[in-house]
Amino acid sequence: MSIALNHTHDVHARSWVESANAPGSDFPIQNLPHAVFRRAGSAEAFRGGVAIGDQVLDLAALVTKQQLDGLALDAAKAAALPALNDFFALGNAAWTALRHALFDLLKNDSPIAAVQAVRECLVPQAEAEYTVPARIGDYTDFYTSIDHALNISRLMNPDGDVTPNFRWIPTAYHGRVSTIGVSGQRFHRPMGQAMAPGAKAPTYHACARLDYELELGVWIGKGNAQGDAIPIERADEHIFGICLLNDWSARDIQFWEMAPLGPFLAKNFATTISPWIVTMEALAPYRQAWTRPSNEPQPLAYLEHAANRESGALDIRLEVWLESEKARREKTGPSRLSSTSFRHQYWTVAQMVAHHTMGGCSLNPGDLFGSGTISGPGEGEAGAIIELTRAAQSPVTLANGEQRGFLEDGDAVLLRGWCEKPGHARIGFGESRGTVLAAKG
């Protein structure tokens, strides 16, 4: 089911792009994530690129250089377009052919003629700007962290538990595509309707409880026909890769509107994703066994498979940082709010795909899943500020002494992610940054 390790995962591999070999680089030669970019502030067309060190390899330029052939060339032409949907639709064989061809061109023993040709296709990341990397047809946001679900439930009732369906269903709501933006997104605090505790009628005002949610975004590769469920053991054929995702959330609006039909305006005003998509092949070394404790319900048969048990979990390390307007002005830097790993999730990505399609729902190349807020079991592992501060009852203190119960205008929230494991390279996701502006109302 999962992708076998191969020479592109070799920890000793080095690139002639020196910055890719620097310790702590997010983009060593073992990573090779995809994005859509152009030179910042230019009128250039957006096109596909691959990260290597502190550079973007411009695939639109590369396909003119006679350095690729066969399936890798076909894949590169699709991955060079201003939206990656056609590349996603090509499937695993094409994705892997391009990865392996780029690895050969970028490794430090590549022929000199190849190095000269490829060097002309590099654009410094410092000079690049990015856009949403595919036309997203549908966006579904899951709810798959039991620690997040328990933290939220215990805010209402200290002895509270998750709703009974949580332990049986990788549940989700259908989200909104129109307001998904790439890192750098700035949005206005939403106006909305909320019911204050004990009040007889709701009031209309700017959101007073603005929050972020630390999530991963899962990019669907190959789709499925309506009526044809994707069985869990074939889910990997339909998943292209993963990015960082911040599901901004208006808690006061959410708690009033969400029963009985789920989140609506509380979630539809902005979602921020990182530009780089790390492929499932790059993530292969960081898979782990997925376990369901014996005192918890075991998954129904359509959500159960040996390969999912063996390697369904992903150890992706994640951090949330907050940079207030004051910290930005005084250049004192962002403060880390929390850190955790995706490996703690109650449901795996393969289970999300199997469940989403079980009733016949079709997925299309470029559809996006949110993982749901990722919170770990320990202190400081919560993926939303409502959990960290217990709904502002115990505010967090930033490095410069400022306090936060919820987000304030001018706050920027940064998500970071990476994988590391003894005997393997460290690969990173780059960053997702979004900034809250004052309400327009």
- Contact segment (CB under 5 A) with Mn ion among 87-95, 206-214, 226-234, 348-356 equals 206-214
CB nearer to Mn ion: pick between 171 and 357: 171
What's the CA dihedral at 97, 101, 107, 110 to 10 degrees? Answer: 150
Binders of Mn ion among residues 380 to 409 (CB under 5 A) are none
By beta-carbon proximity to Mn ion, the closer residue of 28 and 170 is: 170
Can residue 141 be called a binding residue for Mn ion (CB under 5 A)?
yes
Q: How far is the CB of 273 from Mn ion (least distance, A)?
A: 13
- Catalytic annotation, pick one of 9, 148, 344, 356: 148
Minimum separation from the CB atom of position 167 to Mn ion (A)? 19
> Which residue, 247 or 431, has its beta carbon nearer to Mn ion?
247
**Region class of 44: left (phi > 0), else alpha (psi between -120 and 50), else beta:** beta
Stretch touching Mn ion by CB under 5 A, among 5-13, 139-147, 376-384, 423-431: 139-147
Q: Annotated catalytic, 424?
A: no
User: CB of 63: closest distance to Mn ion in angstroms?
Assistant: 37
Count of residues interacting with Mn ion (CB under 5 A): 3
With CB under 5 A as the contact rule, the residue among 58, 147, 211, 213 that binds Mn ion is 213
- Return the number of other C-beta atoms located less than 10 Å from residue 30's C-beta: 21
* CB closer to Mn ion out of 327 and 384: 384
Q: Which is nearer to Mn ion, 27 or 369 (CB)?
A: 369
Q: Between residues 141 and 367, which has the closer beta carbon with respect to Mn ion?
A: 141
CA dist 87 and 72 (Å) reads 11
* Shortest separation between residue 263's beta carbon and Mn ion, angstroms: 8
Single out the segment in contact with Mn ion by CB under 5 A; choices: 179-187, 242-250, 348-356, 430-438: 242-250
Q: To the nearest whole angstrom, how small is the minimum distance from the Cβ of residue 183 to Mn ion? A: 17
Stretch that binds Mn ion, among 38-46, 103-111, 204-212, 240-248 (CB under 5 A): 240-248
**Beta carbon of residue 267, minimum distance to Mn ion (angstroms, whole number):** 7
Q: What is the 3-state secondary structure (H, E, C) of the chain?
A: CCCCCCHHHCCCCCECCHHHHCCCCCCCCCCCCEEEEEECCCCCCCEEEEEECCEEEEHHHHCCCCCCCHHHHHHHHHHCCCCCHHHHHHCHHHHHHHHHHHHHHHECCCCHHHHHHHHCCEEEHHHEEEECCCCCCCEEEECCCHHHHHHHHHHHCCCCCCCHHHHCCCCEEECCCCCEEECCEEEECCEEEECCCCCCCCEEEECCCEECCEEEEEEECCCCCCCCCCCHHHHHHHEEEEEEEECCEEHHHHHHHCCCCCCCCCCCCCEEECCCEEEHHHHHHHEECCCCCCCCCCCCHHHCCHHHHHHCEECCEEEEEEECHHHHHCCCCCEEEEEEEHHHCCCCHHHHHHHHHCCCCCCCCCCEEECCCCCCCCCCCCCCHHHHCCCCCCCEECCCCCEECCCCCCCEEEEEEEECCCCCCCEEEEEEEEEEECCCC
Minimum gap (Å) between residue 373 Cβ and Mn ion: 5
CB 380 within 8 A of CB 358: no
Q: Which CB sits closer to Mn ion, 247 or 257?
A: 247
Closer to Mn ion by Cβ: residue 213 or 257: 213
Segment near Mn ion (CB under 5 A), from 39-47, 144-152, 184-192, 209-217?
209-217
Sites for Mn ion among residues 47-76 (CB under 5 A): none
Segment near Mn ion (CB under 5 A); pick from 213-221, 236-244, 292-300, 344-352: 213-221
Taking CB under 5 A as the criterion, the residue among 147, 247, 387, 402 binding Mn ion is 247
Give the shortest CB-271-to-Mn ion separation in angstroms: 9
Q: Tokens representing 164?
A: 């009974």
In the region spanning residues 168 to 197, those forming contacts with Mn ion, defined by CB under 5 A, are none
Q: Which amino acid is at 254?
A: Q
**Residue with nearest beta carbon to Mn ion:** 247
- Catalytic residues, by residue number, are 148
Interface ranges with Mn ion (CB under 5 A): 141, 213, 247
